[in-house]
Structures are given as structure tokens and as C-alpha cells.
Amino acid sequence: MPRGWGITILTAAALWMSTTAADAQPPEPAYLLVDAESGTVLEAENATHPWYPASLTKVMTAYMVFLAIEKGWLTLDEKVTVSAKAATQPPTKLGLRTGQEVRVALLLEAMIVRSANDAAVTLAEAVSGSEEHFAISMTRQARKLGMSQSFFRNASGLPHAGQVTTARDLAILARALIRDYPAHFHLFSKSHVSISGLGGGSTNGWMRAYPGAEGIKTGFTCGSGYNLLAAATRNGRRLIAIVLGGRTGGERNAMATQLMDSGFAMSAEQASGAFRLSALRGQARSDVPYVLADGRCPVAPSPGSEVLAQGTLPGWGLVFGSFTDREVARATIEGNQAALKEVISQGRPAIIAKRRDVPPSYSALLVGLQEADAGQACRHLQELGVYCLAIPPKLLNNPHTLWR
């Protein structure tokens, strides 16, 4: 099976930089509600405004994997190998190890249910040999589906200035997914995934709360805000709702609920007067709402996050990943400290609880480092195939950074 690998020293700045103005402000959220069978648009606002998809990207990645299975390039039971590049992806991730062999079916579940970036890259490499080639194929397939405003640069949805979509295009994708691969659609409603003791519950809290919900996927970066692509069925009628740019996870979920309730309350006569999805038109623009700039993030975090480490985290920090078990996080820190004992002599363990995850997950860190030591330590760990992200002080204590 083709595979690619690459090791890059990742700093928080690399995840936060963009080519847009540093003072860009997020626009009003975009939303769209359509009838899944007919494509009738029931409600729409900013539906053709370009947006950063965040982890909604993984819906397109899943479609591409289903297409590869259909063509016979992969099978669900086939085991593929996790590359160094995949294993060192930033969170959200499972913590897959370099060289680990995992079934395609489990990787799909991990990517969809837990939004695992390491699983997404592993699947991309399995299909196309490299994530870069996979992204080219994603954009090409998007055009075939009619997604005229979408451009993909990676398989996970991690921030990239060239990766954009629209609510309209996401509705087209959801309809294509349901139409072309109904046998796989149930994956988007799974509530839990586990691979070799790694995993946890679905990141899609809206799905658990809304009667008739069928998934599909949530997403968040500071540049995108809180996104949701959702499907629900009542009385034999399926609706698709898209919300892009919610200020919090709660706001996003409330908007999706309001859209769905409004749609299901419409009579057949009311819905018949609406226009079709194909009538929505828009031109790709450069002023997408990318608001990640110099450590600031105007998008509020979901409530309930808690810092277990006491006080301000000092110095530079090293992030070793996110884990569903606090003791696993602690053991990871201890193991990496042992691996670094000949490289650095300083460093204080810290564990950050991410209560918005269900069940909670825990980020494992080593803090109190000098910049040079942090860089040297990360390089050493990555040469060993261990995930490491170096974080400068300004972003280490910012509650809105991506690693949190």
C-alpha cells in the first residue's frame, strides 16, 4: 500500500499564520437548510460565502475513501500502515503510532467519530500515496459533484489559507454522500470508537441531543468558528442543515436545532414554494474569514473547559497529544521526559482537561522550557517518531489555541 512520510517541526505560529489581514473580523454565521431528497432550499443565509471548513473536510475525505473502496483500490478489512507524517499530526488525534497497522474500517470510524487527524492522513496516504495528491483528487471530485467553490489542501481540515468551501457546497456533498454511499452513511451516527484502547465518544454533541438526528460532522478552528453539517429524519423526511461560524459550540447547535425544527414544521405547500439548491450561485472570493492572527481568537471556546495545571503555564511548552485517559496522558509525559533526559534538563509536567470532549480528554504537556530547548526537544522526539508540538508562551496560555 502506498505511503508517504515527512517530519516537520511544528510550532504554534505555523498553525496560526494566514495571509489575510491581522485584524480580520468574523462575519455573521452562514447557514443553509435543504430537503435531502429534492434539494429544495428551505432557509439560507450567506450560503455561498467562502468559509474555512475545519473538520467538515473529513466528510469529503470519507467520500473519497468510499469511492476508493467502490473502485476496488481499498477494502474495509484491509490494514494500512500509519506513517510518521500521520502519527505526528496535531490534535485532535487518537495517538496512532508510526508503523502501526490499522483496518480501513476502524480508521474511518476514528476520523468520523473522534475527528482524528492522524486517521485522516493515514487514509489519504492509503488512497493516493500522499496527502498532497489526495487533496488534489478531493478538489477534482468536488468539481464533479458540483461543488464549484470548494478547494482542498489537506485531508483533515487543519488550517490552510487555500482550503475553503461554502454551505451550498457542503449541502451538495451531504446529498451526494447519502445518494452514492447509503451503506456507509451509518458511520456518521456512531457514538463511540476504540482502536487498541484509544478512542472515545463522538465529538458531535448535537447528534446526541436532537430527536431523529443522523450525524454528520462537527468542526472547529478559530478561523472557521464552530461548524456543523447535520442530517435528521422525521416521518420519512430527511433534512440537511449546515451552520458555519458559530461563536460557540452551543450557539452552533442551537442554530442547527432551530433550522431543523423550522424545516420539519413546514407543510408540503410551504416547502413547494422554495427554490432548488442548484439555483444558489456564488463566486469564490479572497476575503474569507480567517481570523487566526498573532495569538488572538475572537471565537469563544465551548463552556466547561478546565485547566488542571495550577496557575499560568511558564515558558515554552511541548504538547504530546490528547488522550481519553488522564493516566495515559501522565504516562506519556513521563515516557517523553525519559526520552529527553540527555537532551534537556528542565521541564514541568502539565495536564490540561478538555471537558467539552465526551468523554473528557486530556492534553499532555511539558512546560517551563526555553525556546531553544523546546525546539531541540521536539526535533529529538520527532526523530524517534513521537508527536511533539512546540508552543510559545503567548499561545501556551491562550484558551482558544488549536491544541486545546
Looking at the domain assignment, is residue 359 inside a domain? yes
- Residue bearing the bigger pLDDT, 403 or 24: 403
**Residue 330 — very low, low, confident or very high, per pLDDT cuts 50/70/90?**
confident
**Residue 354 — very low, low, confident or very high, per pLDDT cuts 50/70/90?**
low
Domain containing residue 342: CATH number: 3.30.70.1070
In this structure, the answer to whether residues 244 and 327 fall within a common structural domain is: no
Q: Pick from 346, 322, 343, 317: which is nearest to 332 by CA?
A: 322
The total number of structural domains that make up the chain: 2
pLDDT at residue 186 tops 50: yes
In this structure, the answer to whether residues 194 and 45 fall within a common structural domain is: yes
Q: What is the pLDDT of residue 304?
A: 30
Sheet holding 41-45, edge to edge: 41-45, 30-35, 237-246, 225-234, 213-221
In this structure, the answer to whether residues 170 and 77 fall within a common structural domain is: yes
Q: What is the pLDDT of residue 260?
A: 97
- Residue bearing the bigger pLDDT, 340 or 399: 340
pLDDT at residue 32 tops 90: yes
In this structure, the answer to whether residues 140 and 205 fall within a common structural domain is: yes
Q: What is the pLDDT of residue 301?
A: 39
Calculate the average pLDDT of the chain: 82
Q: What is the pLDDT of residue 357?
A: 53
In this structure, the answer to whether residues 140 and 261 fall within a common structural domain is: yes
Q: What is the pLDDT of residue 286?
A: 40
In this structure, the answer to whether residues 355 and 208 fall within a common structural domain is: no
Amino acid occupying residue 340:
L
- Residue bearing the bigger pLDDT, 402 or 15: 402
In this structure, the answer to whether residues 59 and 207 fall within a common structural domain is: yes
The set of catalytic residues is 55, 58, 115
Q: What is the pLDDT of residue 247?
A: 81
Residues 6+ apart with CB under 8 A from 123: 61, 65, 80, 104, 107, 108, 111, 155
Q: Which of 279, 314, 345 is a domain's end point?
A: 279
pLDDT digits (tens, 9 = 90+) for 51-94: 999 999 999 999 999 999 999 999 999 999 999 999 999 888 99
Looking at the domain assignment, is residue 67 inside a domain? yes
Judge contact between 260 and 235, C-beta under 8 A.
no
Judge contact between 376 and 383, C-beta under 8 A.
no
- Residue bearing the bigger pLDDT, 315 or 382: 315
pLDDT digits (tens, 9 = 90+) for 240-283: 999 998 888 888 999 999 999 999 999 866 776 667 888 887 65
Q: Supply the Cα-derived Rg of the chain in whole angstroms.
A: 21
Looking at the domain assignment, is residue 3 inside a domain? no
Count of H helices and E strands in the chain?
Answer: 13, 15
**CA–CA gap between residue 298 and residue 26 (Å, rounded):** 8
- Residue bearing the bigger pLDDT, 402 or 139: 139
Looking at the domain assignment, is residue 145 inside a domain? yes
Looking at the domain assignment, is residue 288 inside a domain? no
What grid cell was written down for 397?
496560555
Q: What is the pLDDT of residue 356?
A: 55
In this structure, the answer to whether residues 312 and 269 fall within a common structural domain is: no
In this structure, the answer to whether residues 263 and 160 fall within a common structural domain is: yes
Looking at the domain assignment, is residue 124 inside a domain? yes
pLDDT digits (tens, 9 = 90+) for 122-158: 999 999 999 999 999 999 999 999 999 899 999 999 9
In this structure, the answer to whether residues 235 and 358 fall within a common structural domain is: no
**CA–CA gap between residue 24 and residue 13 (Å, rounded):** 17
The CA-atom distances, in angstroms, between 373 and each of 313, 337, 370, 387 are 16, 13, 5, 16
Q: What is the pLDDT of residue 360?
A: 65
In this structure, the answer to whether residues 156 and 241 fall within a common structural domain is: yes
Looking at the domain assignment, is residue 301 inside a domain? no
| Least confidently predicted of 10-24, 175-189, 330-344, 384-398 | 10-24
Looking at the domain assignment, is residue 291 inside a domain? no
Domain containing residue 233: CATH number: 3.40.710.10
**Residue 18 — very low, low, confident or very high, per pLDDT cuts 50/70/90?**
very low
The range of the structural domain enclosing residue 54 comes to 10-279
In this structure, the answer to whether residues 333 and 193 fall within a common structural domain is: no
